[in-house]
Amino acid sequence: MNYTFNSIATCEMCSSTSEHHKIMGQRLNQSQGLFPKNKVGVSVSIMRCEKCELIFSNPQPIPNSIQDHYGIPAADYWKPQYFDIDLNYFASPIKKPENFSTQHSSVLLNL
């Protein structure tokens, strides 16, 4: 992958200067997983403008070819386990209102 990196001196939204930009973290050019410090790759800083709250990378990576950035075969990006469906995924959020109505039905009936 070939990137050109543009350093950002002023916020593109409000034109504030770098003393108003705070580092939020780092972002890799690939999936970071739970332990991004153990990954090798190109990393950029993610910044937040304190004046207008715009979030942006600094430097901004500009791919020399769009294929360098998005040219990953779909089979490499979408892993089969992404499509495994857990039929009980929403069981807990659904149970909360059911429990609430059961616990509070006597209060509601006394009105």
Q: Which stretch binds Zn ion (CB under 5 A): 6-14, 62-70, 71-79, 94-102?
A: 6-14
The yes or no reply on residue 52 touching Zn ion (CB under 5 A) is: yes
Q: Please report, as residue ranges, which positions from 90 to 109 form the binding site for Zn ion (by CB under 5 A).
A: none
Residue whose tokens read 């429990």: 99
Neighbours of 45 (CB within 10 A): 15
Backbone angles phi, psi at 110, to 5 degrees: -75, -10
Q: Which is nearer to Zn ion, 27 or 48 (CB)?
A: 48
Cite the beta strand spans of the chain per DSSP E. Answer: 3-6, 21-28, 43-49, 55-58, 60-63
Task: Give the x/- contact pattern for Zn ion in 11-50, rule: CB under 5 A.
Answer: x-xx-x--------------------------------x-
Q: Which is nearer to Zn ion, 51 or 79 (CB)?
A: 51
Q: Which is nearer to Zn ion, 4 or 18 (CB)?
A: 18
Residue 22 CB partners (closer than 8 Å, separation 6+): 47, 48, 50
Backbone angles phi, psi at 84, to 5 degrees: -70, 130
Residues lying near Zn ion in the complex (CB under 5 A): 11, 13-14, 16, 49, 51-52, 54
